[in-house]
C-alpha cells in the first residue's frame, strides 16, 4: 500500500511540475518584460522612452527618437505594449493598498467557518484557536507553497482537539470544498445576472455558461448519490470504496461527509459565510485590476477570478497553481473581446498572490506563540497515520456519528 502511495506521489509530482514548466515556457514566450511600440509598417520594436510627441526606440542596439506620426495610432495615442516592469511601476498605489485592505475580513471569516465545520464533527475550538489554525494553514499554503501544504499543517493542529485523525483531516478537506463551492456560486450567479452585459464575444460567453451548467449538474448528481442511502446501496458505493486502495479511509471520509446531513444549519451558515468571504476576495482582486489599469467590467472579474482560483485548486496542478493561474488569466483577460496585454494579466495574477501572502504572513507567529511547528518528517508520519487510523465500522454504509444537539446548528 505504501509503495502504491509513493508511486502515486511521484506521478503527481511529475505531472504538477510538468504543467508548471509548460505554463512558464508559455508565459516566457508571450509576456513582455520590456515596453514595445508598433510602427506604421506593423513592426513591433523595443521602446525605451516616450513623451507626448515622440517615442524612443532601440534599433540595432542604438536609441532612435521617432515622432508619434511614425507609430500606429490607437485611440489617439501610439499603440504601446507596456511590459511587466512598466505595468508594475505605474500601478495606482492608492488602489493597490485599498485592494490589500479589502482582503482583511477573509481570514477572519475563514476562522468562523472553521469553528462551524469542526462543530459538525463534534470538535470544539474557540474563535481564537480557529484564527491561529487558519493563519497557520494560510502561511504554509501561500508563503511556503513548496512544503507539504497548509491544509495538512492545519489538520495536524486540529488533531490536538480530537483523537479521530481521519475525521479531522476530512473536515479540513470539506472546509476547502465549501470554499471552492463559494467561488462557484459567486461566478455562476454573476453569469446569470450579467450574461448579456459581459464584455466577451457571444461564443465565449455561451461556452462559459455551458461549462458552469455542466459542473453544477455534476455536483448535484454527486451530492444526490452521496447523501442518499438508498442510491448508495443501489450502486453498492460502500462496497466499491472498500475494495479500493485506502478503502477504509474512503469509508471514514464518507461517514464524516454524510455527518453534514445532520447539521444542515451549520452547513448553510458555512456556505453563506463562504459566499461573503469570496465576495471580499473578488472585490479585492477587481480593485487591484483597476490599479493595474486593466480593462473589462466588474462582472468579468467576478467570473474569471473565481475560475482562476478553482484551477489552482486542482490536485494535479503545481503548488498554488503557479504558472497555471497566470496562463488562465492571460486567456481570460486578453481574448474574447477584452483588450488587456498579457503582461497585465500576469501582473494581475502575481498581485493576487501577493495580497494572499501579505495576509498569510501573520501565520508565522503561530509557532512563535508556543504552538509546536511540525517538521516535514512529522507531517509525513501524520499523513501516513491517517491512512492506518481506525476502521472497524461496517463497510455496508456510512453510519452517521452521534451528534451533540448543542452544536447541530438546527
- From CA 50, how far away is CA 54, in angstroms rounded? 6
| DSSP alpha helix (H) spans, 198-291 | 202-227, 229-234, 237-243, 247-258, 264-291
Complete DSSP assignment for 123-182: ----HHHHHHHHHHHHIIIII-TTSS-HHHHHHHHHGGG-S-HHHHHHHHHHHHHHHHHH
Of 212-221, 233-242, 275-284, minimum mean pLDDT range: 233-242
- Same domain, yes or no, for 327 and 348? yes
pLDDT at 102: 97
- Same domain, yes or no, for 184 and 249? yes
- From CA 63, how far away is CA 150, in angstroms rounded? 50
- Same domain, yes or no, for 178 and 135? yes
**Residue 80 half-sphere exposure toward CB, CA atoms < 13 A:** 21
Query: Residue 341: CB partners within 8 Å, gap ≥ 6?
Result: 32, 81, 82, 87, 334
- Over residues 165-190, mean pLDDT: 84
**Predicted confidence band at 97 (pLDDT cuts at 50, 70, 90)?**
very high
* Domain annotation covers residue 279: yes
From 82, 109, 141, the end of a domain falls on 82
- Over residues 233-249, mean pLDDT: 63
- Over residues 40-62, mean pLDDT: 85
* Domain annotation covers residue 87: no
Q: In CATH, what number is assigned to the domain containing residue 50? A: 2.30.30
Output the CA angle 163-117-172, nearest 5 degrees. Answer: 65
How far, in Å, are 34, 217, 332, 341 from residue 68 at the CA level? Answer: 19, 54, 31, 21
**All three cell numbers of 98:** 485599498
* Domain annotation covers residue 89: no
Is 394 in contact with 232 (CB distance < 8 Å)?
Answer: no
pLDDT at 305: 92
From 27, 57, 82, the end of a domain falls on 82
- Same domain, yes or no, for 73 and 130? no
- Same domain, yes or no, for 333 and 395? yes
- Same domain, yes or no, for 208 and 73? no
- Same domain, yes or no, for 103 and 45? no
Of 142, 70, 102, 95, give the one whose Cα is nearest residue 363: 142
* Domain annotation covers residue 315: yes
pLDDT at 249: 56
Between these two residues, 387 and 11, which has the higher pLDDT value? 11
- Same domain, yes or no, for 109 and 74? no
* Domain annotation covers residue 8: no
The answer for 47, left when phi > 0, alpha when psi is -120 to 50, beta otherwise, is beta
Whether the per-residue pLDDT at 39 is higher than 60: the answer is: yes
* Domain annotation covers residue 23: no
Between these two residues, 395 and 51, which has the higher pLDDT value? 51
Per the structure, the complete domain to which residue 63 belongs is given by: 35-82
- Same domain, yes or no, for 39 and 173? no
* Domain annotation covers residue 3: no
- Same domain, yes or no, for 67 and 192? no
**Mean per-residue pLDDT over the chain, rounded:** 78
- Same domain, yes or no, for 202 and 336? yes
Helix (H), strand (E), coil (C) string for 134-146: HHHHHHHHHHCCC
- From CA 110, how far away is CA 276, in angstroms rounded? 10
* Domain annotation covers residue 308: yes
Number of domains the chain contains: 2
Whether the per-residue pLDDT at 28 is higher than 80: the answer is: no
From 50, 82, 114, the end of a domain falls on 82
Report how far apart the first and last C-alpha atoms of the chain are (Å, whole number). 41
pTM above 0.85, yes or no: no
pLDDT digits (tens, 9 = 90+) for 339-353: 788 889 999 999 999
pLDDT at 145: 53
Looking at residue 52, the DSSP 8-state letter turns out to be: S
- Same domain, yes or no, for 108 and 58? no
pLDDT at 314: 72
Helix (H), strand (E), coil (C) string for 338-398: CCCCHHHHHHHHHHHHHHHHHHHHHHHHHHHCCCCCCCHHHHHHHHHHHHHCCCCCCCCCC
Amino acid at each position: 500500500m505504501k509503495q502504491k502511495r509513493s508511486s502515486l506521489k511521484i506521478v503527481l509530482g511529475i505531472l504538477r511540475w510538468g504543467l508548471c514548466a509548460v505554463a512558464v515556457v508559455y508565459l516566457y514566450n508571450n509576456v513582455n518584460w520590456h515596453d514595445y511600440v508598433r510602427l506604421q509598417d506593423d513592426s513591433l520594436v523595443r521602446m525605451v522612452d516616450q513623451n507626448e510627441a515622440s517615442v524612443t526606440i532601440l534599433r540595432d542596439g542604438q536609441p532612435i527618437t521617432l515622432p508619434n506620426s511614425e507609430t500606429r495610432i490607437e485611440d489617439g495615442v501610439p499603440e504601446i505594449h507596456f511590459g511587466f516592469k512598466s505595468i508594475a511601476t505605474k500601478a495606482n498605489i492608492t488602489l493597490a493598498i485599498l485592494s490589500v485592505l479589502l482582503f482583511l475580513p477573509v481570514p477572519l471569516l475563514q476562522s468562523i467557518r472553521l469553528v462551524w465545520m469542526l462543530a459538525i464533527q463534534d470538535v470544539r475550538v474557540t474563535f481564537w484557536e480557529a484564527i491561529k489554525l487558519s493563519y497557520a494553514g494560510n502561511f504554509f499554503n501561500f508563503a511556503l507553497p513548496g512544503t507539504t501544504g497548509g491544509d495538512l499543517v492545519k489538520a495536524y493542529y486540529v488533531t490536538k482537539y480530537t483523537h479521530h485523525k481521519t475525521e479531522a483531516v476530512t473536515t479540513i478537506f470539506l472546509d476547502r470544498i465549501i470554499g471552492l463551492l463559494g467561488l462557484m456560486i459567486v461566478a455562476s450567479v454573476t453569469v446569470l445576472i450579467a450574461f448579456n452585459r459581459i464584455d466577451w464575444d457571444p461564443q465565449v460567453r455561451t461556452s462559459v455558461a455551458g461549462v458552469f451548467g455542466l459542473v453544477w449538474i455534476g455536483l448535484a448528481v454527486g451530492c444526490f448519490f452521496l447523501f442518499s442511502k438508498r442510491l448508495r446501496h443501489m450502486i453498492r458505493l460502500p462496497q466499491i470504496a472498500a475494495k479500493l486502495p485506502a478503502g477504509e479511509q474512503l469509508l471514514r471520509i464518507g461517514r464524516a461527509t454524510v455527518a453534514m446531513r445532520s447539521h444542515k444549519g451549520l452547513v448553510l451558515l458555512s456556505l453563506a459565510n463562504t459566499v461573503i468571504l469570496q465576495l471580499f476576495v473578488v472585490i479585492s482582486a477587481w480593485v487591484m485590476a483597476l490599479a493595474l489599469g486593466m480593462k473589462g467590467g466588474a462582472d468579468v472579474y467576478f467570473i474569471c477570478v473565481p475560475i482562476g482560483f478553482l484551477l489552482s485548486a486542482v490536485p494535479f496542478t503545481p503548488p498554488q497553481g503557479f504558472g497555471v493561474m497566470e496562463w488562465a488569466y492571460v486567456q481570460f483577460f486578453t481574448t474574447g473581446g477584452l483588450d488587456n496585454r498579457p503582461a497585465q494579466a500576469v501582473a494581475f495574477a502575481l498581485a493576487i498572490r501577493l495580497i494572499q501572502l501579505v495576509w498569510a504572513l501573520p501565520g508565522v507567529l503561530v509557532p512563535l506563540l508556543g504552538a509546536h511547528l511540525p517538521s516535514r518528517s512529522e507531517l509525513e508520519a501524520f499523513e501516513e497515520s491517517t491512512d492506518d487510523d481506525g476502521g472497524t465500522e461496517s463497510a455496508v454504509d456510512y453510519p452517521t456519528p452521534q451528534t451533540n444537539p448543542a452544536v447541530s446548528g438546527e
